[in-house]
A and B are shown apart, each in its own frame.
Chain A
Amino acid sequence: MSKTQPSLQILTANRLTDGAVVYLTAAGTWTTEIRQSVVAREEKAASALLARGQKDAESAVVVAPYLIAAIEDADRPRAASLREQIRAAGPSQPVADAVATAVGLAYP
């Protein structure tokens, strides 16, 4: 990625009521599916997303909104960092599988 290419960002937060990891959509709603999130392609758009998130934090919809770096695969965004990939998808698969085998559960 060249320095001049704008970095892609999406807005994430936790839903107030249940703490679920959520992402802002183009419609201004929050989704648990990162693939449905709206992508900011330049800083101004990213600031607008953050402002929107802060407003929803003030009105007790979400908690702790922040921008994360994104990558687009086939026009669908996914998280760039491992941390955010784990946040989006849950504990990494070996862990999820291991919980299931070790403790005898059908992991959700």
Chain B
Amino acid sequence: MYRYDEFDRIFVAERVAQFRDQVRRRLAGELSEEEFRPLRLQNGLYLQLHAYMLRIAIPYGTLSSRQLRMLAHIARRYDRGFGHFTTRQNIQFNWIKLEETPDILADLATVEMHGLQTSGNCIRNVTADHWAGVAPDEIEDPRIWSEIVRQWSTLHPEFSFLPRKFKIAVTGAPNDRAAVKVHDIGLRMHRNADGEAGFEVIVGGGLGRTPMIGKTIREFLPKRHLLSYLEAILRVYNEYGRRDNLFKSRIKILVHEIGAAEMTRRVEEEWAQIRGGALDLPIETIAGIAAQFSPPAYAPQPASVPQIDALRFAEPAFARWLKTNVAAHRKSGYAIVTLSLKPEGGPPGDASAAQMDAVADLADQHGFGEIRVSHEQNLLLPHVPRAALPALWRALGGLNLATPNAGKITDIICCPGLDYCSLANARSIPVSQRLTRRFNDLARVHDIGDLKIKMSGCINACGHHHVGHIGLLGVDKGGEEFYQITLGGSAEGDASLGAILGPAVSSAEVVDAVETLVETYIAERRQGERFLDTYRRVGAAPFKERLYAVA
């Protein structure tokens, strides 16, 4: 894992000291809220529905057990005992006190963490494939490049006041697990005809009020040019991005307005001026960062683990968990394990301090002390010896973290909604809870198969509803909560935006509506088809008929 160098350490320590003084001046009345607001936001401190909310960056979703224990400590000492993992691989605490924030940031700094780049019109915390470094299909660990982008983007003087926030996602594998096509810039590693690894550069994707699938402006960018090429894109955006209209200020609007070809032309023209300069990193620098992400010291593992087969027959729940929450690892004898933060009736993405501490212990015991956060709001242990799976499963069950539903209908991406968020128009967590209770028969959940429900409490789409196989968007109709349904979205390699199915349904109707959609799929599906495949084959009509016929 990446460890801070001297520069990182000094910089973060200085930031804490600066913020401590800024908070002191604010509490003494020397700074107005107007003056203070941008300063607190630059450290991840928002004012939310209930109190201040602190968003802590988890760069590319990688945590050490020591860092996770610190998050548990913060939940316990400074908040109400739990935290919320977000779709940007960050964590949020909902009841933070301004007067305690400098101490929290100082505590975080001891484990090389902070709240930088989690707010404001800067290049935000970079996200990456949560299977980074362990996926069998991976060409190169995307965290190497995510970390390089982090070092370049943090405090970048030219890009600290962009027209709007800017999100970059990286995948080092041909199969996209990082939703790169719905980011301002998505980077997808692949090999060219000569076998050289480089990036497909995708620009102008995004969700929110104007959802867009990103456009590929360069099929193949050699890795060494990554920073100069990103700098060229950011320069074009900084110059031509719509600062006149908040709703048109994201790069997706620029790309949409001028077109992908013109965007490419402007970026390439800018790049011609700066390529080959200081931003083309020396091979030693890249190698130095890559070394920090080298695999742990895997030990030889037995070819087969008889206990797994025994338990699989004895415990159907274990068999299901193996199917959904355990994935193949690039190293034989090891597995990638998803710890579901989507238990029946639970708020998606929430974890208590006790769970965080216990997961940190399990990571130390079974997984080289490493934890991942996925944009689907689950935790993962990326390096578990297969022989440890039975013991791990039992331990996770005791922590309510073993629901065998990764990728299934109840693995819902869900924003905090009106229960926590100032921007929301409707609640999302209670709908998610009701859905997980309705679909609580695991045999049925597994029969339904891969189905992604994503839900947002407002048009800003933090819950990625546009790219859900079933998307739910909360809207306020005359003071009542309604939910607009979209079908056919996908955030993966076959990215697509969902289409609105029909009139929004009431809160009382929404769970039945989802069940009707699922039953329609079951009736229509062919062998091996996922919900999304069936929808793409038959279109919206059967779903529409079944759902609205009765109304």
Contacts and interface: CB of A to CB of B under 8 A. Distances in A.
Interface of A: 14, 16-21, 57-60, 63-64, 81-83, 86-87, 90-92, 94-95, 98-99, 101-105, 107-108
B50 A87 contact: yes
A18 B355 contact: no
Contacts of B427: 82, 86, 92, 95
Contact of B51 (A18, A57, A82, A83): A18
A102 B345 contact: yes
Contacts of A14: 47, 51-52
Interface size class of chain B, counting residues whose CB lies under 8 Å from the partner chain: 35 or more
B418 A83 contact: yes
B2 interface: no
Contact of A63 (B33, B352, B399): B33
A58 B352 contact: no
Contact of A17 (B97, B347, B433): B97
Given A19-B95, A102-B345, A103-B82, A64 B47 contact: yes
Contacts of A57: 33
A19 B96 contact: yes
Given A59-B29, A95-B419, A104 B99 contact: no
Contacts of A21: 50-51
Contact of A103 (B97, B99, B400, B424): B400
Contact of B343 (A19, A91, A102): A102
Given A18-B97, A19-B97, A60-B28, A102 B400 contact: yes
Given A99-B347, A103-B400, 13 more contacts: A17-B98, A17-B99, A18-B99, A19-B96, A19-B98, A64-B33, A86-B49, A95-B433, A98-B347, A103-B355, A104-B355, A105-B81, A105-B352
Interface string B74-117: 00000011100000000000011111000000000000000000
A58 B28 CA distance: 11
B547 to A, nearest CB: 25
Contacts of A101: 345-346
Interface of B: 26-29, 32-33, 47, 49-52, 80-82, 95-99, 343, 345-347, 350-352, 354-355, 399-400, 418-420, 424, 427, 429-430, 433, 479, 481
Most buried by B among A16, A60, A95, A99: A95
Contact of B50 (A82, A90, A102): A90
Question: Counting chain B CB atoms within 10 Å of each CB, which of A17, A102, A104 scores highest?
Answer: A102
A99 B419 CA distance: 12
Nearest to A94: B430
A87 B47 contact: no
B345 A91 contact: no
Given A19-B97, A57-B33, A82-B418, A108 B51 contact: no
Contact of B481 (A19, A82, A94, A95): A82
A102 B424 CA distance: 23
Given A102-B343, A102-B400, A95 B98 contact: no
